[in-house]
A = this chain, B = another copy of it.
Amino acid sequence: MSIVVLGTVALDSVKTPFGKRKELLGGSAAHFSMAARLFVKVNLIAIVGSDFPKRHIGFLRKKGINLSSLTIDKGKPFRWEGEYKGDLNSALTLNTELGVLSVFKPQVSEEQRKIENLFLANVDPEIQEHLLKKMHSTKLVGLDSMNYWINTKRKGLIKLLRQIDIYVANDQEARDLSGQANLIKAAKRLCSFGPKMVLIKKGEHGVLFYSQSGLIFSLPAFPVEKVIDPTGAGDTFAGGFMGYLAKCKRINPLAIKKALAYGTVAASFNVEDFGLLRTSRLNSRDLERRMLKFKDCFLF
């Protein structure tokens, strides 16, 4: 089975109470891929500048990611600089350089257009829609966004929600887009915009799932004592979640709960080190081992 992920491949500079790192390989599509690759073949669609470090591209390729639709463009790479303080629950963005991202028109091969699983990670909703239209026969489409697009391209984003299956948001985004403070009400309202399922990521507080058919699932986070850097945890979650579902023959309530658990466990590895340092070394055995520990935290 395969999945296509559209998103960013970026250079991240980050400061947390545990240290500082400069120009790490990051971006939504990169983080997503590190988790999804443990379940299915990942086809990454993104754009990078021509001076983007070759070693990062080689690194992704070595991890088994199909990069045939990675656009390399003249221009500067997408750079993000952020800082986490206190309980590390929210990032303070210090600087964003869109670079090549501002001219991004996603490319996709004829082969990839036939892939049934698609995740539209956080980029401009217009770019997300552009790719969605090119796909031939999607069966499961997930979408992430962020406050910036909710504020500046709300209409386009809501139009896009009609065409997808699963909307993935963090708690603040869910509240902002829905106008509801209570997260269940927020999820309900977001479902009314179109997506069959809504998944609200609450960071260290776990995840809430809601479906048009009325299913409500709620899972805690995996308890991590040493959160080093949460950058990309949400994308890693989405990678584990979508990766597992892409592998399932039938998407039923049990499959969804398991997918939520795999996403949770994958994200718990992500926060234990800077950037992709931990998730890029992750294998299925690590994941299954922690899955057992995770189950032990709440199953009875």
Q: Which residues of B contact A283 (CB under 8 A)?
A: none
A158 touches B (CB below 8 Å): no
Nearest B-chain residue to A203, judged by Cβ: B205
Q: How far is the CA of A87 from the CA of B184 in the complex (A)?
A: 11
Which bracket fits the contact residues of A? Answer: 20 to 34
What's the least CB distance linking A87 to chain B, in Å? 4
Nearest B-chain residue to A210, judged by Cβ: B223
Asked whether, in the complex, the Cβ of A183 is within 8 Å of the Cβ of B204, the reply is yes
Among the listed B184, B254, B261, B297, which residue makes an inter-chain contact with A218, where contact means beta carbons less than 8 Å apart?
B297
Asked whether, in the complex, the Cβ of A87 is within 8 Å of the Cβ of B261, the reply is no
Asked whether, in the complex, the Cβ of A216 is within 8 Å of the Cβ of B220, the reply is no
Among the listed B185, B222, B226, B257, which residue makes an inter-chain contact with A300, where contact means beta carbons less than 8 Å apart?
B257
Q: Which residues of B contact A220 (CB under 8 A)?
A: 206, 208, 218-220, 298
Among the listed B204, B219, B223, which residue makes an inter-chain contact with A298, where contact means beta carbons less than 8 Å apart?
B219
Asked whether, in the complex, the Cβ of A86 is within 8 Å of the Cβ of B181, the reply is yes
Q: Which residues of B contact A181 (CB under 8 A)?
A: 86-88
Asked whether, in the complex, the Cβ of B205 is within 8 Å of the Cβ of A206, the reply is yes
- Given that A218-B220, A220-B218, A298-B257 are contacting pairs, would A227 and B182 also be in contact in the complex, using a CB cutoff of 8 Å? yes
Asked whether, in the complex, the Cβ of A224 is within 8 Å of the Cβ of B184, the reply is yes
Q: How far is the CA of A131 from the CA of B225 in the complex (A)?
A: 36
Q: Which residues of B contact A193 (CB under 8 A)?
A: none
Residues from 232 to 264 in A contacting B, C-beta threshold 8 Å: 254, 257-258, 261
What's the least CB distance linking A109 to chain B, in Å? 36
A299 touches B (CB below 8 Å): yes
Nearest B-chain residue to A188, judged by Cβ: B225
Q: How far is the CA of A202 from the CA of B204 in the complex (A)?
A: 11
What's the least CB distance linking A5 to chain B, in Å? 25
Q: How far is the CA of A258 from the CA of B217 in the complex (A)?
A: 18
Q: Which residues of B contact A297 (CB under 8 A)?
A: 216-218
A221 touches B (CB below 8 Å): yes
Nearest B-chain residue to A258, judged by Cβ: B300
Among the listed B88, B185, B226, which residue makes an inter-chain contact with A225, where contact means beta carbons less than 8 Å apart?
B185
Asked whether, in the complex, the Cβ of B225 is within 8 Å of the Cβ of A300, the reply is no
Q: How far is the CA of A204 from the CA of B204 in the complex (A)?
A: 13
What's the least CB distance linking A267 to chain B, in Å? 14
Q: Which residues of B contact A300 (CB under 8 A)?
A: 254, 257-258, 261, 299
Enumerate 27 A-B pairs (CB-CB under 8 Å) in ascending A order: A86-B181, A87-B181, A87-B182, A182-B225, A183-B204, A184-B224, A184-B225, A202-B205, A205-B206, A206-B206, A206-B220, A208-B220, A216-B223, A216-B297, A217-B297, A217-B298, A218-B221, A218-B222, A218-B223, A218-B297, A219-B298, A220-B220, A220-B298, A257-B298, A257-B299, A298-B298, A299-B299
Q: Can you add 12 more A-B contacts, CB < 8 Å, to A183-B223, A258-B300?
A: A86-B181, A87-B182, A184-B224, A206-B206, A206-B218, A217-B298, A218-B220, A218-B222, A219-B220, A220-B220, A257-B299, A298-B298
